[in-house]
A and B are shown apart, each in its own frame.
Chain A
């Protein structure tokens, strides 16, 4: 006896009536969600619109000129873009290992009572205003960091980025050649990006499946073994994503950088040497006494920074989102 299947009918249209309260909330949430998009879009549009006169006037030379001399009609963001990237990269290189190890310590090593306390402290670190970090960097960190900078330039000076244009071995060394550099600014910004990167990484580490942790433990793994085989591979996406979010933050950091760096408008790959400028610090320092055309130039610089940070953050978000679904072990 065979059972013959009846020919399939067309798929039914199923509609679920939303309850009035649901519909209200649904609508409100949608409006607010759209609002966020609108605000971001409006910022981009506004900046883009304001950039038109500048881009018309200077053309591509706006991106290739290093100096910022409005009185000579020579304006460009080549130097500040390089400075921005240098400060951000220094911050990244310093904050990445610290954030990673701190996050791992909190998620896998710290005793339970210490853990919640540490989480709060890291979150508090993120809450400290950046101007405070700037002051701290200027008065406390910089006098110490220049010794490290001098040491690095002494021993690694043959690498161009660590070179400083002074006599590193002089008996009385020129401290002012090492202050106000991209290095010191980057160190300070790193303190601000650590909590951000650490929070993302810790959240992902905590999600590493307990079953897999136990599997590794039951095979005789040490805690480090568990971290290496289970936690870190699982959290790869979160590590990359958190780092990139921190990079986005570092690219835009203003107040602390403004306090520390001394403006210098040449393309300078020497991160330990005094003088550099970042895009956001440029805008902040020149905004007050800018003429109309200078204002447009500053807004153009802001537009470029806006685009860079948007791209970095979007890539970060994509990496985080994509990795989550792939890495969970619930099959």
Chain B
């Protein structure tokens, strides 16, 4: 069951900077938030919690409109790395980083790049579904716009809600109860609501931190379908513990490993098929064949 949507015209909606003020209200082109996918590149990234180095010299580049999977055993720094990409890392007390994260060539850690802008351009879906439980489903979807002070007309808003829920594969299940609280949905539906909510801001990159680890197999399937469909619109980086999932959804994969007492590093990165079938590093082979981790 695939929901087909013709590729929507790319009209920015929540785009930042000085552009945000002018003429957004009532722009007839529709409320499709896709701003196009961006390339993302991490160059020489290090991370610390307090004095403990948890990531060492991680370099990874992600092509636009691709799905990249980050795999590796627990505690190897995948999630930390993901959170560095949209500057969520620094919200943890004592967290530090070094290196560069380039969004279409621009360093998101540069002083003139606003942190709120970074997070709007690089959306995130968390491990545990975290909708705003008291808000309605529709309000959940548009929460990002409200937070960023983007004004949209009522019809644009309705259109945006529908588009994003369609993209997240949730529309059919909730179209008759958009006013109900988001917290009343099942876990899998909540996660897709969170995906819709991230999409509504119009991200160029979507980061997913083990989005299915709290879900049952059916919900996992639906999310994976959603990921495959979204990959034509945005760049996706997904952390997963499920190696079959990495094979199913991603084009490229990077294997992270933190060897005893050492910070996490990328051992190997390649096209997903070759990483799994023909790994060049013996540690990768051990991991993907289930010999450890």
Contact = CB atoms under 8 A, between A and B. Distances in A.
Contact of A230 (B116, B123, B132): B132
Interface in A191-249: 209, 211-212, 214-222, 225, 229-230, 233-234
Interface string A296-331: 000000000000000000000000000000010101
17 contacts: A209-B130, A211-B128, A212-B130, A214-B91, A215-B131, A215-B197, A216-B147, A218-B126, A219-B144, A219-B148, A219-B198, A220-B144, A221-B148, A229-B143, A230-B132, A233-B134, A327-B133
Given A212-B130, A214-B88, A219-B144, A331 B183 contact: yes
Interface string B8-49: 000000100000000000000000000000000000000000
Nearest to B140: A215
B91 A216 contact: no
Contacts of A216: 132, 143, 147
B155 interface: no
Given A209-B130, A211-B130, A212-B132, A218 B146 contact: no
Contact of A221 (B116, B194, B198): B116
B119 interface: yes
A225 B120 CA distance: 14
Interface of A: 112, 209, 211-212, 214-222, 225, 229-230, 233-234, 327, 329, 331
Given A215-B130, A219-B198, A329 B183 contact: yes
Nearest to B133: A329
A52 B143 CA distance: 59
Contact of B147 (A219, A233, A327): A219
A234 B147 CA distance: 16
Nearest to A331: B183
A327 B146 CA distance: 21
A218 B124 CA distance: 6
Nearest to A218: B124
Contacts of B120: 219-220
B237 to A, nearest CB: 14
B290 interface: no
B117 interface: yes
A219 B143 contact: yes
Contacts of B62: none
Contacts of B116: 220-222
B86 interface: yes
B201 interface: yes
A223 to B, nearest CB: 10
A222 B117 CA distance: 10
A217 B88 contact: yes
Contacts of A329: 130, 133, 183
Interface residues of B, number: 31
Given A112-B93, A220-B201, A221-B116, A215 B132 contact: yes
A327 B201 CA distance: 26
B194 A215 contact: yes
Contacts of B147: 216, 219-222, 225, 229
B215 to A, nearest CB: 13
A216 B198 CA distance: 10
A112 B50 CA distance: 14
Interface in B193-245: 194, 197-198, 201
B134 A217 contact: no
A211 B194 CA distance: 12
A220 B117 contact: yes
A215 to B, nearest CB: 4
A219 B126 contact: no
Interface in B76-109: 86, 88, 91, 93
B93 A219 contact: no
A219 B124 CA distance: 8
B183 A215 contact: no
Interface centre among A112, A209, A219, by most B CB within 10 Å? A219
A215 B123 CA distance: 10
Interface centre among A112, A229, A234, by most B CB within 10 Å? A229
B134 A215 contact: no
B187 to A, nearest CB: 8
A230 B132 CA distance: 8
Interface string B146-176: 1110000000000000000000000000000
A233 B143 CA distance: 14
Nearest to B201: A219
A222 B201 CA distance: 14
A212 B187 CA distance: 15
A234 B135 CA distance: 11
A234 B134 CA distance: 9
A214 B201 contact: no
